[in-house]
A = this chain, B = another copy of it.
Amino acid sequence: MARPQEFEVNDVLDHAMEVFWHKGFDDTSIQDLVDATGLNRGSLYNAFGDKAHLFADVMDRYRAHSLARLLATAPDDASPRQLILDFLQGLVDRARCDTDHKGCLITNTAAGLYGCNEHMSTWIRQTLISLEDVLSNVIERGQQRGEITRQSSPRALARYLVSAAQGINVMARAKPCQDTLRDIVTNTMRALEPQSS
């Protein structure tokens, strides 16, 4: 019926993600995206609307591949405490491999959410809440198994962990030292320990 697209959408998103992740939304120009994706300006606009929409698509793809999947897809009989440790350690490992210290795209965007970008604000908030939900479930199982303290509710502990993850991501960017990140994870986990050890 018509001329078909000559590119794979996900490939374009991956290349665009690399640029956005590396330079941030504001510092990324359309020209950067044209260079990185190989697409023409017109094709970009035709396929993704404008820069903000393209960024939104990139964020969706980033979230779909994020470490939170680790928690959601774990088998029910996995140790909740170990699962959380793996999650935090995963953040640290990612930081170790991230030689140019890009950090986490979601955290960076959350901290850089300037102006009145209402859509992205709610996207971020909902993303954090859904991570909170997943963590809350894991924590509840952990409390039932006696692996995690009952001094706080699963919800409160989940919020604590979401915040801790944001902290780790900021540190990974600002002071990307493995010793530091290890110390952070170790002490973050201590807050989860049951009273009687």
Question: Contact residues of A with B, CB < 8 Å?
Answer: 22-24, 26-27, 103, 107-108, 110-115, 121, 124-125, 128-129, 149, 151-152, 155-157, 159-160, 162-171, 173-175, 180, 183-184, 186-188, 190-191, 195, 197
Majority secondary structure, A binding face: helix
Q: Are A151 and B22 in touch, CB under 8 angstroms?
A: no
Is the Cβ of B187 less than 8 Å from the Cβ of A152? yes
A114 to chain B, nearest CB (A): 4
Looking at the complex, which one of B23, B115, B166, B191 makes contact with A115 (CB distance below 8 Å)? Answer: B23
Interface residue from B128, B180, B188 paired with A191 (Cβ < 8 Å): B188
7 closest A-B pairs by CB: A167-B167, A111-B111, A160-B187, A163-B167, A26-B26, A156-B183, A166-B170
A167 to B161, CA, bound (A): 9
Count of chain copies: 2
22 A-B residue pairs with CB within 8 Å: A24-B115, A107-B111, A110-B111, A111-B169, A111-B173, A113-B173, A128-B171, A128-B175, A149-B190, A152-B187, A152-B190, A155-B183, A159-B180, A159-B184, A160-B187, A160-B188, A163-B170, A165-B167, A166-B167, A167-B167, A167-B168, A191-B191
A170 touches B107 (CB 8 A): yes
Contact residues in B for A103 (Cβ distance below 8 Å) = 111
Q: A160-B188, A166-B166 are in contact. List 19 more A-B contacts (CB 8 A).
A: A23-B114, A23-B115, A24-B26, A26-B27, A27-B114, A27-B115, A107-B111, A111-B169, A125-B174, A151-B190, A152-B187, A156-B186, A156-B187, A160-B183, A163-B167, A163-B171, A166-B174, A187-B191, A188-B191
